[in-house]
Structure 1
Amino acid sequence: MEMEIDSPKPESNDNQIKDDDLFRAAERGDSAIFKALSQEQFQRAPSLRNDDSRSLLHVAAASGHSEVVKILSAADASISGVNSTDEEGWAPLHSASSCGHADVVEILLSNGADVNLKNNGGRTALHYVASKGWLKIAQILIAHRAKLNQKDQVGCTPLHRAASTGNSELCEFLIEEGAEVDAVDKAGQTPLMNAVICHNKEVALLLIRHGADVDVEDKEGYTVLGRASDDFRQILIEAAKTMLEG
């Protein structure tokens, strides 16, 4: 009697897409792959992580692929991983904000992203937007109740960051929305000091017009004028005089 040889049974996951392929699809913005996932794989997708502890949603958000972000963040926030963080504490919102993807930021916020979530450096999405000068995204974040005066681990507020990079339009917006002009970081420096150290003349004059204190001393004993170069110092003195006379 001949022995019957069982033919190999197809494994249940033979037709499933490999995890690495999903991460590549998230990076490319290939929404068709995610639409074609089985229910089982779709439910498992939020728990997948790459070597940097980033989720599929995080990769898609950082790459600016709004269609994939929509699909992956559609579930309840507790399931979708919209607030899950990588090894440096970055959530998808941090990355999308920092990279300037306004449409992705709106999708994430509408699907439960925490606008004031801090990463390991104590920074919120608004800190990164202020550093990069993304005015439109700053407007979106603040409309969703982003805290304007949140300090990071070194005591910097978003206005400190915007003043350092010299974006006067964004500084003006932050101040109008309620940013503290004379907020002090752990080095005792204010946004005006940051602007002066980085030689951002337009921002420095803007801050003085909004009442920034030119006499405050940092922890090394320097005032704003003490931090300024000779030519810049004269401009600041004239601006401060004008404010006093006004």
Structure 2
Amino acid sequence: MGPPQPRLSQGQRGDTGNPVGHTFLVALAALPLHPPKDKHHRYLVGKMTKKTLVSLNFKGTNAIACQRESSWLDRVLSFLEVIYRTDQSRSGTQAYHNTAVQWDYRPLSPLAMDMEIDPPNSSEQQPKAEDLFKAAEAGDASVFKSLSQKQLAEALSLRNDDARSVLHVAVSSSNSEVVKVLLAADESKNVINSVDEDGWSPLHSAASIGNSGIVELLLSKGADVNLKNGGGRSALHYAASKGWLEIAQILISHGAKVNLKDKVGCTPLHRAASTAKSQLCELLIEEGAEVDAVDRLGQTPLMSAVICYNQEVSLLLIRHGADVDVEDKEGYTVLGRASKEFRPLLIDAAKAMLEG
């Protein structure tokens, strides 16, 4: 049994045979569905569909309505579910060729009333944010190379749930090629010192993972070498604690402050001493680090080294004049913090310094 015959609106007709009061109507159920290749085509279809569904005649009746028992309703709703698909001939023209009709009134799904299709603003289409972050993490530089300057600027302005930009992600994933492409964009100057929710800049990440090439790239583009994160630490704090000698040298050559303190009062030398990075300690001392700088607990880098049982660093600091008699806020000296086995070594080193 076929669909019900069309019933025109109260006998009022125009010269074209269409119901008076309708703008343009389409018998959607008659349209075969094919994927359109042109986004302008999709936009037009969406707009026409919305206008059709909300169009009213003089009596206020929806332009397209179907009997619930009719298979036409299902076909119309199916069309709505695939709004980006429509009939398209080989020439790309729309096939809105059926006579406008009105069936017995029944309201259609609210889906029809809520639809809105965004118009294409240019011949360019911005990739999805999710895809851009995935490309930054995977190191797919081709994705970013294919973007225009405007698209690249928009990509750099994106932030994920951790407030990280695509530059943050590319840097922390050590993807140098992606970083180069991003930094070549004019917009990079507005992102180079941006921080995530923990206060980390791209330079913090580069210094922490030990990628000297990216560190140099970021610094050459204006990265703030002394920028502190949420913990009050600079990039040099991380290079020191990880033992990245080359990166520490690069940072210092670009003006990194060797005596900068974090929120707990630790300098880069404290960090290097507690993690047994003797070469970093040597470099920092040569660059002017204070050997007896104290943190908020009153502990010096030597105390940090002793507490962590770092013999080599402890002896190095003593040779550079670290005070073995200083007391922390709990009243402990260096020897008081040292284990019984460690004390003789410290005493001998201190004596050698005094005699030398």
Note the residue ranges of structure 1 that are not aligned, 5 or more in a row: none
The answer to which structure has the higher helix fraction is 1
CA RMSD of aligned residues (A): 1.8
Distance 1:224 1:128 in 2: 25
Residue 294 of structure 2 corresponds to 184
Give yes or no for contact 1:84–1:91 (8 Å, CA) kept in 2.
yes
Is the CA contact 1:27–1:60 (under 8 Å) kept in the aligned structure 2? yes
Task: Return the alpha-carbon distance in structure 2 between the equivalents of residues 127 and 77 of structure 1.
Answer: 28
Q: With structure 1 as the length reference, what TM-score do the two structures score?
A: 0.95
Equivalent residue letter for 1:198: C
The answer to whether the 8 Å contact 1:77/1:111 transfers is no
From 215, 220, 240, the counterpart of 1:105: 215
Q: Which runs of 5+ in 2 are unaligned?
A: 1-15, 19-23, 27-39, 45-118
Q: 1:12 aligns with which of 120, 123, 126?
A: 120
Q: State the partner residue of 1:85.
A: 195
**What percent of counterpart residues are identical?**
69
Cα 1:141–1:241, aligned 2, differ >3 Å: closer, same or farther? Answer: same
Q: CA deviation at 1:115?
A: 0.2
Cα separation, partners in 2 of 1:200 and 1:38, compared to 1, 3 Å: same
Tell me which of the two structures has the higher relative contact order, counting C-alpha pairs closer than 8 angstroms and 6 or more residues apart.
Answer: 1
Shift of residue 213 of structure 1? Answer: 0.2
- Cα distance in 2 for partners of 1:201, 1:158 equals 18
Checking the alignment, whether the CA contact within 8 Å between 1:72 and 1:80 is kept in structure 2 is no
Match in the other structure for 1:213: 323
How much has 1:77 moved relative to structure 2? Answer: 7.1
Deviation at 1:73, TM superposition (A): 1.7
- Segments ≥4 residues shifted beyond 2 Å: 1-16, 74-80
TM-fit CA distance, 1:128: 0.8
CA distance in 2, matches of 1:68, 1:111: 15
Residues 38-47 or 180-189, more deviating: 38-47
Which of 127, 135, 143 matches 1:25? 135
Aligned length: 246
Q: Is the 8 A contact 1:74 1:111 kept in 2?
A: no
What is the one-letter code of the residue matched to 1:152? Answer: D
Q: Which amino acid aligns with 2:43?
A: K
For the 8 Å contact 1:26–1:60, the answer to whether it is kept is: yes
1:69 matched to 2:152: no
The structure 1 residue matched to 2:341, chosen from 219, 231, 243, is 231
**Structure number with bigger Rg:** 2
Deviations 1:31-78 (A, max 9, x none): 110010133311212210011000011111111111111111224577
- Give the 3-state SS of the residue equivalent to 1:231 in structure 2: coil
Match of 2:86 in 1: none
Kept after mapping to 2: 8 A contact 1:46/1:79 = no
For residue 334 of structure 2, what is the amino acid of its counterpart? V
Instruction: Return the letter of the residue paired with 2:327.
Output: E
Q: Matched residues in 2 for 1:56 and 1:78: separation? A: 11
Q: Deviations over 1:159-197 (max 9, x none)?
A: 000000001111111111111111010000000000000
Q: Provide the residue aligned with 2:350 in structure 1.
A: 240
Aligned to 2:308: 198
Which shows bigger deviation, 184-193 or 59-68?
59-68
Per the TM alignment, residue 15 of structure 1 is displaced from its structure 2 partner at its CA by 3.6
Query: Any idea what the Cα deviations from partners look like across 1:176-229, whole Å, max 9, x if unmatched?
Result: 111111101000000000000000000000000000000000000000000000
1:53 to 147, 152, 163: 163
**SS in structure 2 of the partner of residue 59 of structure 1:** helix
What is aligned with 2:267? 157
Provide TM-score, normalisation by structure 2: 0.66
1:79–1:106 distance in 2 versus 1, CA, 3 Å: closer
